[in-house]
Chains A and B, each alone.
Chain A
């Protein structure tokens, strides 16, 4: 936790310490999503910083600007992928994978002397796309509400054993709003009485 390191927070002396760790609330799909999020950051930074090198390596010399834009896109999809809203981030990544593949396909023609590199890159992107799809499916499956969650009916759980009608205002007979919580009545009480006709 970098932020807690910065603030210099430390655990107090006598507090219990971990002796052995148990299973986590994070599922495998969550972890995969997190790994892909960091991968996005890594790739995004490279694409932003060295687009020329990538372009030359793939025989896409005239596409430096596009590659740099792809770098920004990688970073933008990394943020939600690393957040609690992983599925939105992964969906963005899948869309990005498609764009990457389309761009790479333009480098696969026989006239490109770097065609071999482009083929390797295409294979890599295909692999990553597969991982994105697996993570997306896993994350949405792990965190869905369940088939009948919304159909659950709790209308027998009033929590008011005496019944709703009987309960309405029941506490008024023995509870007075404390002075520091009052919000009513003060203005009317302060007005002079209306003249009687």
Chain B
């Protein structure tokens, strides 16, 4: 089959690889109809997590049709079912799964000892996302083996196009969780850093959850225009001071809730000198992340507010102002999204026309053009916000 394969830093290729096969009775094989490239894939594209092997298949936003089902998954899935595959792999039985913390499943990370070593304790298995989370082949391919498939799928009805459903795999529940982590109250101002696909979903979620004011921060005009389309007030951080504008918009008190939808790879520019230092340290492997947004959010957040971190951090972040955070009594919430915890509810909202996540797709291409689309998405070229690929 065809698949997008990681060969090294900035080197992704559409290779021909052997087809996956059922390995375990709980497995299923999906014929992929649509998949997408995520901001998280860019961290791997940039080789910021040294736990990829050349030959790893990328991709964790995938949907398709079930073509083969292992004996133990037969009750839950059958050939021909239309499914979206969450980026998290979950057993559904362990203590974390029972609490709804699906990205922390105790059983699905087949390289768990590595996770134990690096993170102190293992986290769940994820598709196409380094050997720290199981090294599972991803879904930017023609076929995908789904482990624990009886609990790792979202059944979706016919009659709704892929474009509207695909993002149940990741960015829609991810953006939703970013907003839920804020416990939004009527009257709240919610500031969202980053107007990439995740930020866009967080903005819509915050509106649906009743935020009075949503303020969206980025520097790319086309992304800010998409944020404004949902009613967000926008701040271009290259043109104005984020802290001043946020204070102005909140009577000097600061936003109640702050969502970091940027994460590790904050934009590097002279206007934000801390990012230059972070970038230099990153190159010398003295720091993993560029936590500029975290610093800014902690500084501007209203005391007793919430910092909701949904952008991915990879390792060590320097100069995070814990003194400000502690003395202001901030609450921090963060995680890889617990996808299936939200998808039942969110599918219903799509069906009822409360939201149509396809708004975010700016580019559609053939899977074979995937390598070029990685570069385009990374370079923010050609107005690219979200790439959907079809084999």
Interface residues of A (CB under 8 A from B): 1, 3-4, 7, 9-27, 30, 79-80, 83-85, 142-146, 148-162, 164, 167-172, 175, 177-178, 180-184
Contacts and interface: CB of A to CB of B under 8 A. Distances in A.
Contact of A167 (B131, B207, B223, B268): B207
Nearest to A161: B353
B121 interface: no
A157 B356 CA distance: 10
B181 A25 contact: no
A184 B183 contact: yes
A149 B8 CA distance: 28
Given A11-B53, A14-B23, A22 B15 contact: yes
Contact of B354 (A12, A85, A171): A171
B379 interface: yes
22 contacts: A7-B131, A9-B111, A10-B53, A15-B57, A16-B1, A18-B15, A20-B16, A21-B7, A24-B7, A150-B220, A150-B221, A159-B356, A160-B230, A161-B355, A167-B207, A177-B183, A178-B180, A181-B180, A181-B333, A183-B183, A183-B306, A184-B183
Contact of B209 (A12, A159, A160, A171): A171
Given A14-B23, A85-B279, 5 more contacts: A15-B137, A19-B18, A24-B7, A84-B9, A160-B208
Given A22-B14, A159-B356, A175 B135 contact: no
A143 B379 CA distance: 6
Contacts of B186: 169, 172
Contacts of B365: none
A16 B17 contact: yes
B368 interface: yes
B55 A18 contact: yes
Contacts of A3: 50-51
Secondary structure of the B contact surface, majority rule:
mixed
B302 interface: no
B25 interface: no
A147 to B, nearest CB: 10
Contact of A171 (B210, B283, B306): B210
A135 to B, nearest CB: 14
Contacts of A80: 283
Given A11-B53, A159-B357, A26 B11 contact: yes
A155 B228 contact: yes
Given A3-B50, A167-B354, A171-B208, A20 B15 contact: yes
Nearest to B208: A171
B200 interface: yes
A12 B24 CA distance: 13
Interface residues of B, number: 94
Contact of B229 (A11, A157, A161): A157
Contacts of B56: 11
Contacts of B331: 183
A155 B226 contact: yes
Given A24-B13, A149-B382, A12 B368 contact: no
B181 A16 contact: no
A152 B7 CA distance: 33
B1 A151 contact: no
A145 B220 CA distance: 10
Interface string B148-171: 000000000000000000000000
A49 B360 CA distance: 54
Interface stretch (B69-77, B247-255, B369-377): B369-377
A25 B135 contact: no
Nearest to B117: A7
A181 B183 contact: yes
* Chain A CB within 10 Å, residue with most, of B2, B45, B382: B382
B156 to A, nearest CB: 18
Contact of A4 (B46, B50, B181): B50
Given A159-B230, A162-B354, A175-B209, A83 B283 contact: yes
Contact of B380 (A13, A14, A25, A149): A149
Contact of B10 (A30, A149, A158): A30
Contact of B20 (A16, A154, A155, A181): A16
B222 interface: yes
Given A9-B135, A162-B354, A143 B284 contact: no
Given A22-B368, A25-B375, A159-B355, A154 B55 contact: no
A21 B3 contact: no
A16 B272 CA distance: 43
B110 interface: yes
The 4 closest A-B pairs by CB, nearest first: A152-B383, A169-B210, A159-B359, A3-B50
A182 B135 contact: no
